[in-house]
Amino acid sequence: METDTEKLTETLTLNTSRQDEDGYITLWRLAEDSLGYVRSAQTIRELASRLLNFLCKHRYPYVLVVGHDADFLDEQAERDEAAFFNWSGDSDKVDLIAQYIKVPAEPLARFLKEKGFNAAESYSARRATRQEWFKDDWKVE
Phi, psi (rounded to 5 degrees) for 59: 50, 50
Domain ranges in the chain?
21-140
pLDDT higher than 70, residue 94? yes
pLDDT higher than 90, residue 85? no
For residues 93-117, average pLDDT:
92
For residues 123-130, average pLDDT:
91
Backbone dihedral region for residue 39 (phi beyond 0: left; psi -120 to 50: alpha; all else: beta): beta
Going from the C-alpha of 82 to that of each of 86, 87, 118, 130, the distances in angstroms are: 5, 8, 25, 12
Question: According to the model, what pLDDT value does residue 2 have?
Answer: 44
Question: According to the model, what pLDDT value does residue 3 have?
Answer: 45
Is residue 23 within 8 Å of 105, Cβ to Cβ? Answer: yes
74 vs 38: CA distance, rounded Å: 33
Using pLDDT thresholds of 50, 70 and 90, give the confidence band for residue 1. very low
